[in-house]
Amino acid sequence: MRTFGTQKSTDESLAGKLVIVTGASSGIGYCTTRRLAQMEGARVVAIARRRVFRIEALAIQIREQTGEDRIFPLTSDMADREQAQTVVEEIERKFGRVDAFIHAVNRALRLGALEVNDHEFDLTMQINVKSALYGVQAVVPLLKKQGAGGIIIYNPTPKKTADFVASEAVYAAAAHALSALTAGWTRQLDGSGVGIREVAPAPEGDVVETSTTRSGVTHDVLLVTALQEALAVMAPVQPPQSLFRQPQTLRSRGGLTLQEF
C-alpha cells in the first residue's frame, strides 16, 4: 500500500492507543489482542460473536500481570451492519476516541466451487468481506474527524491442504474482493491522516518477501508492525485557501464537463 503524507519511523508506540480487534476470541485475532495488550501496552476492544469467555479470561490475566485494564471484551457480529455501527458508537461514547481498527476475521470452507451452495457461499462473503466492509464504514468517519488513525485488513492465504484446495476458488473470490475493497479505501483515505494496510501472508513454504509477508515472522507480529506503519501516517499540512478558487473538473464524458467551483 502507498504511504500518505509524512512518514515517521515504524517504531510508533502503541502504548495507550485504543485498538478495535475483530475475531478476537480465536486464531490471529486472539494472538493479536494478547500481543497488543501484553507487550505493546495498548488498550484493546476485543470483539467476537462467540466464545467471548476466552477474551474475558485473557483480560483478567493481563490485568493481573500489568495492574491495568487493557482488554475490553465485547460480543457482536461485525458481519451485521447495524451491530457494527452500534459497537463503534458505543466505543466512542465510552472512550472518546478510537486509534485503530484491525479486521482479523477469517473463514475457510470445505466445499469446492462446483459443490458450494448459496448458504456456504454467502456465509463466506459475509464473514470474510462484509464484516470488514461494515467495520471500516463504521469507524472511518470517527478516524477522519480525529485526523489520524490506522486500519489493518488481515487477508491471508491458508495452507494448501486437501480440504482447502477443494474450496480454494470460493475462498479466493472472497480474498480478491477484500483486496479490491482495501485498494478502494486506500485511494479514498489518501491525505486524510488515516493509514490503511492489508496484511496478506502467503502460506508457509511459499517464497514471498514483502513488507507484510516475512518468512519466520508470526502473523500477529506482522499485524502489529503494519499497525505501527499505518499510525505513522500523518495528514499533509494544508496550504492557505485562496479567496478565489479555480474550477476543478470532476468528470468529463461525451464532450460535457462537470465542474466544481
Residues carrying an active site annotation: 171
CA angle at residue 216 from 172 to 29, to 5 degrees? Answer: 55
Nearest to 36 by CA among 50, 9, 55, 53: 55
* Interatomic CA distance for residues 248 and 206, integer angstroms: 47
Residues with Cβ < 8 Å from 81, sequence gap 6 or more? 130, 134, 137
What residues are paired with 247 via a beta bridge?
none
* Interatomic CA distance for residues 251 and 93, integer angstroms: 39
* Interatomic CA distance for residues 85 and 88, integer angstroms: 5
Sole residue written with cell 500489568: 66
Residue 11, φ and ψ in degrees, nearest 5: -95, 30
Residues with Cβ < 8 Å from 52, sequence gap 6 or more? 25, 73, 74, 75
Strand spans (E) along the chain: 6-7, 18-22, 43-48, 71-75, 100-103, 149-154, 194-199, 233-234, 248-253, 256-260
